[in-house]
């Protein structure tokens, strides 16, 4: 799980830099939960240095000394505040986030954001039971596309994850040890359905792949994880969102808004050279389904899924979903997440359809974007 090709927990391989001293320091800071504060500290020290240099030069002292000193003071104050409140939990108890029962499906999918700071309290018994039930139901074989089983295991443990803070409850997504693309896709699709319902319950969620320490998952899963049989694809942290978060996470949260335009995600040909025009009359009945996919989560916000619309007799009858990279894990999980959002949107609008693989399309696409699966509208 430490790179985009998410190698199995049981069989790690090392890149050349993983043995260098600086990488080991970075990993130690990362897994001990201190790395989040380093950018803030570095910026503050840089400002102090700048003020020192400004003082030596001795001109424009208000600009070269005063301003950097003020910024350094602000950054240090913020650092102390973050460490006290986030790291040591020194703040008043926070209110429970409100559930969102009145949001329609599209607003709900839009309301979901990755939550990277959780309150220091466990899920209520009611929420935990609902979550386990949802995870169990959605991952059942009859609700999956593929024939290979997947599991969404509830785990209450302080897993070592990055950069998420205070996450103590997780759903661990497990597939078979041997690679099956459909199983990885099912994990994205089924877990996203749980995530949407968790959002409705007012819970914060964060998919975590590269930011999870595989050895920590293996340790806490205990006998529920068998390296000879299982492959943990990713985990999803679940809990109550906290207002308190390190500056780095506040800044990172802004990346949520960086989404590709619909025209870069939806096309009308399998080469993905002709962008779809979302305003065209033929797409009007699908309302906000396209937007629902656009706002799906993806690892590093890479947005690797593409979809091709197929129009027959003036109506959209099929969507062909493709991946834009060769990643065998996170891009496929992201595609599964798109499927969940697309289906959820169509269900809400009362448009029926099924997932199906059209093998002839596979052959047409030796290169990227690579065709994976289609949604076929009911006739």
Ligand X SMILES: Cc1cc2nc3c(=O)[nH]c(=O)nc-3n(C[C@H](O)[C@H](O)[C@H](O)COP(=O)(O)O)c2cc1C
The residue among 134 and 161 lying less far from ligand X, judged by its C-beta, is 161
| Smallest gap from residue 44 Cβ to ligand X (A) | 23
CB neighbour list of residue 5: distance below 8 Å, 6 or more residues apart: 327, 328, 329
- Residue 255 binding ligand X, by CB under 6 A: yes
The residue among 44 and 165 lying less far from ligand X, judged by its C-beta, is 165
The contact mask relative to ligand X for 162-181 (x = CB under 6 A, - = no) is -xx-----------------
CB neighbour list of residue 223: distance below 8 Å, 6 or more residues apart: none
- Candidate residues 219, 256, 260, 315; the one interacting with ligand X per rule CB under 6 A: 256
Phi and psi (nearest 5°) for 131? -65, -45
Interacting stretch for ligand X, rule CB under 6 A, among 48-56, 111-119, 136-144, 363-371? 111-119
**C-alpha pair distances (Å), 46 with each of 25, 222, 247:** 20, 45, 16
The residue among 108 and 206 lying less far from ligand X, judged by its C-beta, is 206
- Residue 35 binding ligand X, by CB under 6 A: no
The contact mask relative to ligand X for 230-249 (x = CB under 6 A, - = no) is ----x---------------
The residue among 283 and 330 lying less far from ligand X, judged by its C-beta, is 330
How far apart CA 9 and CA 325 sit, in angstroms, is 22
The residue among 250 and 256 lying less far from ligand X, judged by its C-beta, is 256
Taking phi first (over 0 means left), then psi (-120 to 50 degrees means alpha), and beta for anything else, what does residue 88 get? Answer: alpha
The residue among 206 and 308 lying less far from ligand X, judged by its C-beta, is 206
- Residue 204 binding ligand X, by CB under 6 A: no
- Candidate residues 65, 324, 334, 335; the one interacting with ligand X per rule CB under 6 A: 334
Inter-helix orientation angle 67-82/38-57, to 10°: 160
The residue among 47 and 150 lying less far from ligand X, judged by its C-beta, is 150
Element (H, E) at 220: helix 214-221
The residue among 168 and 299 lying less far from ligand X, judged by its C-beta, is 299
How far apart CA 58 and CA 246 sit, in angstroms, is 35
The contact mask relative to ligand X for 205-234 (x = CB under 6 A, - = no) is -xxxxxx----------------------x
- Residue 40 binding ligand X, by CB under 6 A: no
- Residue 114 binding ligand X, by CB under 6 A: yes
Phi and psi (nearest 5°) for 8? -60, 150
Cis peptide before 163 (omega within 30 of 0): yes
Inter-helix orientation angle 125-138/181-200, to 10°: 150
| Smallest gap from residue 102 Cβ to ligand X (A) | 22
- How many residues sit close enough to ligand X to count as binding (CB under 6 A)? 23
239 class by beta-carbon count within 10 Å (0-12 exposed, 13-18 middle, 19+ buried)? buried
| Smallest gap from residue 201 Cβ to ligand X (A) | 17
Applying the rule CB under 6 A, the residues between 336 and 365 that interact with ligand X are 337
Applying the rule CB under 6 A, the residues between 291 and 320 that interact with ligand X are 297-301
How far apart CA 142 and CA 41 sit, in angstroms, is 51
Cβ proximity of 100 and 200 under 8 Å: yes
- Residue facing ligand X at closest CB distance: 211
CB neighbour list of residue 66: distance below 8 Å, 6 or more residues apart: none
Interacting stretch for ligand X, rule CB under 6 A, among 65-73, 240-248, 269-277, 328-336? 328-336
How far apart CA 130 and CA 124 sit, in angstroms, is 10
How far apart CA 80 and CA 82 sit, in angstroms, is 5
The residue among 270 and 337 lying less far from ligand X, judged by its C-beta, is 337
The contact set with ligand X (CB under 6 A) reads: 113-114, 116, 163-164, 206-211, 234, 255-256, 297-301, 330, 333-334, 337
């Amino acid at each position: 799980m430490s790179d985009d090709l998410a190698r199995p927990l049981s069989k790690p391989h090392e890149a050349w830099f993983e043995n260098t001293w600086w990488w080991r320091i970075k990993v130690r800071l990362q897994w001990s939960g201190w790395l989040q504060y380093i950018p803030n500290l570095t910026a503050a020290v840089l400002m102090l240095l700048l003020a020192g240099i400004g003082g030596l030069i001795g001109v424009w002292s208000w600009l070269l000394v005063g301003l950097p000193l003020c910024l350094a003071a602000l950054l240090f104050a913020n650092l102390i505040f973050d460490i006290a409140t986030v790291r040591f939990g020194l703040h008043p108890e926070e209110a429970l986030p409100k559930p969102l029962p009145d949001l329609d499906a599209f607003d709900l999918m839009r309301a979901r954001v990755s939550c990277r700071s959780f309150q220091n309290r466990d899920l209520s018994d009611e929420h935990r039971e609902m979550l386990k039930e949802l995870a169990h139901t959605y991952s059942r074989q009859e609700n999956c596309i593929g024939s290979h089983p997947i599991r969404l295991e509830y785990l209450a443990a302080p897993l070592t994850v990055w950069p998420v803070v205070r996450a103590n409850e997780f759903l661990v997504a497990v597939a078979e040890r041997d690679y099956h693309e459909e199983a990885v896709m099912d994990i994205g699709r089924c877990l996203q359905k749980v995530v949407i319902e968790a959002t409705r319950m007012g819970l914060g969620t964060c998919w975590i792949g590269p930011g999870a320490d595989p050895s920590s998952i293996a340790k806490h899963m205990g006998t529920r994880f068998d390296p000879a049989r299982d492959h943990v694809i990713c985990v999803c942290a679940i809990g109550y969102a906290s207002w308190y978060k390190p500056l780095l996470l506040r800044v990172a949260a802004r990346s949520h808004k960086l989404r590709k335009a619909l025209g870069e995600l939806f096309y009308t040909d399998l080469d993905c050279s002709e962008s779809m025009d979302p305003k065209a009359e033929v797409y009007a009945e699908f309302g906000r389904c396209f937007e629902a996919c656009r706002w799906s989560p993806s690892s590093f916000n890479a947005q690797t899924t593409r979809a091709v619309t197929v129009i027959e007799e003036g109506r959209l009858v099929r969507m062909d979903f493709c991946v834009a990279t060769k990643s065998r894990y996170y891009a496929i999980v992201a595609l599964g997440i798109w499927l969940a959002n697309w289906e959820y949107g169509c269900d809400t609008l009362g448009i029926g359809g099924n997932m199906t693989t059209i093998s002839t399309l596979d052959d047409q696409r030796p290169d990227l974007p690579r065709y994976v699966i289609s949604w076929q509208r009911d006739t």
